[in-house]
Structure 1
Amino acid sequence: MRTIHIRRMMILSTVLLLGPILSTGCARIHDKSAAEVLHLVLAGMAGSDGVSFEGASSLMLDGKPVPKAALYYGGTVSDHNKVSLHTLLPDGGKPQTAAQAGGNKLKSSSAAASAYYTRLEKKNGQWTLLQQDSTASPDSPLPGLNPLRQLEDLEKHEIEVSEEAGGARGTRVLRIELSEPEAVRQLAAELEGQMEAIRPGKSGSEQKETGKEEDALQLLWAKKNNELQQKLKEVSVRTVYYLQVDTKRNLPKRLTCTRRVNDPANQGTTGGGAEEIYLTEVNFYGYR
């Protein structure tokens, strides 16, 4: 009996000693700052074997939606660095980029073929389009909607991270805003990448012109590129992300982004489109 009593005392002592330590550990997890939670989530996402996702993007001009610019998509992440994306169209219609819809004045005016499926792989730190497995034109919006790239961007830019109140149980909602210079640089990088992809004579293009036709296309591209650079000097950009976090696993549940582009030069002009709002959202599920 004495031996049993001693064992009970030892177990009780161990529980009393470990209790505060374990409680402190849990408190530390839940008491981390918004910036620390973001870092943990991005690290957790990088370590995840795979996940499925569905999302949407849309464009508004002066508060009015551009229906033809709306795009619904889904996809999967596998092996940490491979992403497949495809369009989701309940009505069976053909998707259009914002450039095709004629809405976003900062994008190229070149018409783009409809995009249905794209595969990307990260090689040497860069996301590469696997052309042999894709049906996408050079200015397809699908590569830009790669959710892993969107999350990675949050670590590359100058940001301000805070937490929103009222998150659902078991979640935290982080508000992530880019500084205005960073927001402009991010937009510029995306649009310049799209312009470079459609540059005449670019390897991999379906058709290559020669002689006068090629010269004319080069001149047109240079003109549009100069117009783009001028616009980027004039606009103001505000970009805000909201990241809903699963606190049990420290993984993303939902990511939304609102980018507001204002062009003071066009304010007050008829049909000028003083403000463009580009919205994206993506929901993650089925982590592996």
Structure 2
Amino acid sequence: MRTINIRRMMILSGVLLLCPILNTGCARINDKPAAEVLHLVLAGMAGSDGVSFEGASSLLLDGNPSPEAELYYGGTVSDHNKVSLYTLLPDGGIPQTAAQAGENKLKSGSAATPAYYTKLEKKNGEWTLLQKDSAAPPDNPLPALNPLRQLEDLENLEIEVSEEASAARGTKVLRIELSEPEAGRQLAAELEGQMEAIRPDKSSSELKESGKRADALQLLWEQKNKELQQKLKEVSVQTVYYLKVDTKRNLPKRLTCTRRVNDPGDRGTVAGGAEEIYLTEVNFYGYR
């Protein structure tokens, strides 16, 4: 009996010695700090040849949905740095042209989903349009929804990264919160870019023919831009991302963002001030 006990002890000791070795192998994948996981995932995305994606964005004003701000979109990434985006209908259909959307609106008497299509390419570290569509409105929302740019921004922003406890098997969910000053700077950059996109072009032939109209439009733009700058000084901004990660391949599966903007100077219908909540979600599939 004594011999058997010694053997059992030797076997048990061997198992205990092997456990740290086995666990070390697992730790290389699953036990890294959240910030390091984020870095690995972003690097994996940059190294991917291509991927398809679908997403949506929406806006809540004091808790009430704003239907005119809802947008469904899809697209593809190719050659690492080329992105195509297009709008989708809520049922997954694709509006063919802006003219068709307008025709449907006239026939039905209700709002039709506007059709947008955008191609972007990263050149010299900047995302630029591959084509200029004279029919596209200056407030085309798709360039701002470029999922590669959204992921890249996470490496350059002031953020705090943590891991959510309840994630499905084979996945991790990272919570990524911007510091309040960084969230404010991000919002300001986006809104200032949108304002610049609608700035009157005095060189256009239409405005050249009407000097007074050009001056009036410029004055109106300057007034609205001044109001924007003042609002940006007053609001508080909180921005949180959630990134769902495929731990087997270290690649993104879903990225969501919630941005809360509170204006204490505008009472709205919420105690303490008006609130806007901007929501975006994009799902990745079909990596190549």
- Length-normalised TM-score, structure 1: 0.81
TM-superposition CA deviations, 1:221-276 (whole Å, max 9, x none): 10000000000000000000000000000000000000000001102579x97000
The residue aligned with 1:147 is: 147
Contact 1:180 1:237 in 2 (8 A): yes
The residue aligned with 2:171 is: 171
Offset of residue 134 of structure 1: 8.4
Change (3 A) 1:279 1:247: same
The residue aligned with 1:66 is: 66
Alignment partner of 1:85 is 2:81: no
Moved more, 87-96 or 180-189: 87-96
The residue aligned with 1:12 is: none
TM-superposition CA deviations, 1:133-157 (whole Å, max 9, x none): 6863221111000000110111111
The residue aligned with 2:242 is: 242
Contact 2:87 2:94 in 1 (8 A): no
Partners in 2 of 1:202 and 1:217 — Cα distance? 10
TM-superposition CA deviations, 1:126-180 (whole Å, max 9, x none): 1101234686322111100000011011111100000001101100000000000
Percent identical residues = 81
Change (3 A) 1:68 1:178: same
Alignment partner of 1:251 is 2:215: no
Contact 2:264 2:273 in 1 (8 A): no
Matches within 5 A, 1:27-42: 27-42=27-42
Q: CA RMSD in A?
A: 2.9
Aligned residue pair count? 254
Change (3 A) 1:257 1:199: same
The residue aligned with 1:118 is: 118
Gaps of 5+ in 2: 1-16, 99-112
SS in 1 for 2:213: helix
Which amino acid in 2 is paired with 1:223? Q
SS in 1 for 2:233: helix
Which amino acid in 2 is paired with 1:176? I
Alignment partner of 1:264 is 2:264: yes
The residue aligned with 2:228 is: 228
Change (3 A) 1:26 1:207: farther
Partners in 2 of 1:226 and 1:42 — Cα distance? 37
Change (3 A) 1:189 1:202: farther
TM-superposition CA deviations, 1:171-203 (whole Å, max 9, x none): 000000000000000000000001111111177
Partners in 2 of 1:247 and 1:154 — Cα distance? 19
Partners in 2 of 1:163 and 1:20 — Cα distance? 23
The residue aligned with 1:107 is: none
Partners in 2 of 1:118 and 1:197 — Cα distance? 15
Contact 1:94 1:114 in 2 (8 A): no
Offset of residue 29 of structure 1: 2.1
The residue aligned with 2:26 is: 26
Change (3 A) 1:173 1:279: same
Gaps of 5+ in 1: 1-16, 97-112
Change (3 A) 1:75 1:277: same
